[in-house]
């Protein structure tokens, strides 16, 4: 039986307890399947434990966990060849919903309609608290590209949600 | 910075505007309102994302890794009312509680926690308290700061709540392995009260014991 130093083990346990729920929520919003999200959460922490380094600081650690989770999700879809709906164009989705006055989507439905390339960085920022730089690193992208996706994601959500008090623009404003 | 640049940056990250964005918002009422709307929107978004995780998820992950043996969780003392001042022995003032001391030191080293304003939905505090088997008996104030911090070898939620008696910092240890009794620590002009919850423990830090106890009295084990 392999014995681990108590501090290594204890710290991992602390991290599992701190972040398991957030990792699960992130995975749930990627796949929208509770059972799969739980399986992927297990896989995420299995990989994290296998590569555990005590010296990782707390902030980097969270970004690292979410990157593992993201990779696990991607790997599962590659492995199982799940039939995925082809990724729709963001502008088409927005125009389809925005032109229909009956469309009053709630936030969850609107979020589910966002193409994955926009939803994923938004989830990492809002749920994971990751910075644009951290998201860029996990996506092998640039900070500017991530910021553009985040902006477009929020704008698309607001457009899809329509004329709710929350998203209504202030009247008569002069921009400088 | 002009309004267009401001809005582009705020759309990318409304929660942590940089120094230039904050300066622009100070001067431009329309953009200040825009930032506020975006923060409200993000708070709603954050709330919508909070799907309930499976019960015992962390335990199952640890069991699967061989880091924890299966065990029956002791039934919680659900009927107990928590820590109402009149029901408790008057606090034993102590400068020696390590958790209280660390909590006070943490607050002293994070002054930005009191100047930062996070968009936190109104139901956030009851929701995170419920994770520890605690209910909030009355509205105690607006959560203006919410993050996760390492503290005393554990990871705690770090919240700042604006109450009528001033800002109070809450550290929520959902998985505190140490059995706690109520302790009060006074140090550096601050008071920390650590109380056991149905699950884990909670440490309250405030500039006065009255402010900390005002929050404490509103918490109940469920």
Quick: pLDDT tens for B126-178.
888 998 889 888 788 888 888 888 787 778 889 999 888 788 999 999 887 77
In chain B, the DSSP E strands lie at 93-94, 134-136, 142-151, 154-163, 166-173, 183-187, 190-196, 201-206, 219-221
Rounded to an integer, the average pLDDT of A96-121 is 71
pLDDT over 90 for what percent of chain A?
31
Mean pLDDT score of chain B? 80
Closest approach of A158 to chain B, Cα-based (Å): 8
The reported pTM is 0.58
Closest residue in B to A150 (Cα–Cα): B12
Backbone dihedral region for residue B151 (phi beyond 0: left; psi -120 to 50: alpha; all else: beta):
beta
pLDDT, position B110: 74
Nearest one of B118, B121, B122, B132 to B180, comparing CA atoms: B132
pLDDT, position A38: 94
More confident residue, B104 or A57: B104
Least CB-CB distance to A125: which of B13, B40, B153? B13
Q: Which of A98-107, B102-111, B127-136 has the highest mean pLDDT?
A: B127-136
Least CB-CB distance to B30: which of A15, A21, A170? A170
pLDDT, position A175: 54
The residue whose two tokens read 């820590």 is B83
- β-strands B134-136, B219-221: how paired? antiparallel
pLDDT, position B94: 42
pLDDT, position B85: 38
Closest approach of B140 to chain A, Cα-based (Å): 25
Question: End-to-end CA distance of chain B, in Å?
Answer: 50
Mean pLDDT score of chain A? 77
pLDDT, position A58: 66
Least CB-CB distance to A151: which of B11, B64, B148? B11
| Pick from A115-119, A158-162, B214-218: least confident | A158-162
Rounded to an integer, the average pLDDT of A22-38 is 92
Query: CB of B210 within 8 A of CB of B165?
Result: yes
- Both tokens of A74, joined, read 């991607």
Closest approach of A123 to chain B, Cα-based (Å): 9
Subunit contact A126:B11, Cβ cutoff 8 A: no
Residue B34 with chain A: CB contacts under 8 Å: 170
Closest residue in A to B29 (Cα–Cα): A173
> Residue B82: which pLDDT band, with cuts at 50, 70 and 90?
very low
| Pick from A2-11, A69-78, B25-34, B135-144: least confident | A2-11
Residue A167 with chain B: CB contacts under 8 Å: 37, 41
Residue B14 with chain A: CB contacts under 8 Å: 154
The partner residues of B187 in beta bridges, in order of sequence, read B190
Q: pLDDT tens, B59-71?
A: 889 888 777 654 4
For A163, phi then psi, to 5°, come to -90, 55
Closest approach of A116 to chain B, Cα-based (Å): 15
Subunit contact B13:A21, Cβ cutoff 8 A: no
pLDDT, position A85: 47
Q: pLDDT tens, B178-197?
A: 778 888 888 877 889 999 99
Subunit contact A17:B38, Cβ cutoff 8 A: no
Closest approach of B11 to chain A, Cα-based (Å): 5
CB contacts < 8 Å between A and B, how many?
126
Q: Which of the residues A13, A23, A30 would you substitute to probe the B interface, choosing the one with the greatest number of B C-beta atoms within 10 Å?
A: A13
Subunit contact B13:A150, Cβ cutoff 8 A: yes
What strand order describes the sheet that includes B190-196? B93-94, B183-187, B190-196, B201-206, B166-173, B154-163, B142-151
3-state secondary structure of B56: coil
Q: Which of the residues B9, B15, B65 would you substitute to probe the A interface, choosing the one with the greatest number of A C-beta atoms within 10 Å?
A: B65
> Residue A168: which pLDDT band, with cuts at 50, 70 and 90?
very low
Q: Which of the residues A5, A9, A15, A16 would you substitute to probe the B interface, choosing the one with the greatest number of B C-beta atoms within 10 Å?
A: A16
Subunit contact B147:A158, Cβ cutoff 8 A: no
Closest approach of A41 to chain B, Cα-based (Å): 8
pLDDT, position A73: 92
Which ranges in A32-172 belong to alpha helices (H)?
34-50, 58-80, 90-98, 107-113, 116-126, 132-139, 143-161
Least CB-CB distance to B67: which of A9, A106, A107? A9
């Amino acid at each position: 039986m392999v014995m681990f130093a108590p501090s290594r083990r204890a710290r991992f346990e602390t991290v599992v307890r701190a972040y398991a729920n957030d990792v699960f929520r992130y995975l749930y919003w990627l796949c929208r399947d509770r059972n799969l999200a739980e399986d992927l959460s297990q896989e995420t922490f299995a990989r994290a434990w296998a590569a555990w380094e005590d010296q990782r600081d707390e902030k980097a650690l969270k970004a690292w966990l979410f990157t593992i989770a993201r990779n696990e999700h991607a790997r599962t879809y590659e492995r199982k060849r799940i039939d995925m709906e082809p990724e729709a164009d963001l502008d088409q989705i927005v125009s389809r919903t925005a032109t229909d006055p009956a469309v009053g989507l709630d936030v969850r439905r609107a979020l589910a309609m966002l193409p994955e390339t926009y939803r994923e960085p938004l989830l990492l920022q809002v749920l994971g608290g990751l910075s644009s730089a951290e998201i860029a690193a996990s996506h092998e992208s640039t900070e500017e590209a991530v910021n553009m996706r985040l902006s477009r994601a929020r704008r698309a959500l607001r457009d899809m949600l329509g004329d709710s008090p929350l998203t209504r623009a202030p009247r008569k404003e002069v921009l400088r | 910075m002009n309004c267009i640049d401001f809005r582009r940056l705020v759309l990318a990250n409304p929660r942590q505007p940089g120094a230039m964005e904050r300066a622009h918002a100070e001067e431009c009422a329309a953009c200040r309102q825009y930032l506020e709307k975006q923060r409200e929107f993000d708070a709603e978004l954050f709330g919508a994302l909070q799907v309930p995780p499976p019960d015992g998820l962390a335990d199952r992950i640890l069991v699967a890794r061989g880091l924890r043996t299966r065990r029956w969780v002791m039934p919680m003392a659900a009927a107990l009312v928590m820590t109402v001042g009149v029901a408790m022995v008057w606090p034993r003032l102590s400068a020696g509680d390590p958790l209280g001391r660390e909590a006070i030191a943490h607050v002293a080293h994070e002054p930005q926690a009191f100047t930062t304003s996070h968009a936190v939905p109104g139901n956030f505090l009851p929701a995170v308290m419920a994770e520890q088997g605690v209910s909030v008996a009355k509205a105690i104030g607006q959560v203006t700061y919410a993050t996760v911090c390492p503290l005393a070898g554990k990871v705690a939620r770090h919240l700042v709540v604006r109450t009528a008696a001033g800002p109070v910092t809450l550290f929520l240890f959902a998985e505190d392995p140490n059995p706690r009794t109520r302790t009060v620590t006074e140090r550096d002009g601050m008071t920390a009260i650590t109380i056991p919850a149905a699950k884990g423990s909670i440490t309250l830090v405030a500039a006065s014991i009255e402010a900390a106890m005002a929050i404490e009295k509103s918490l109940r084990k469920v």
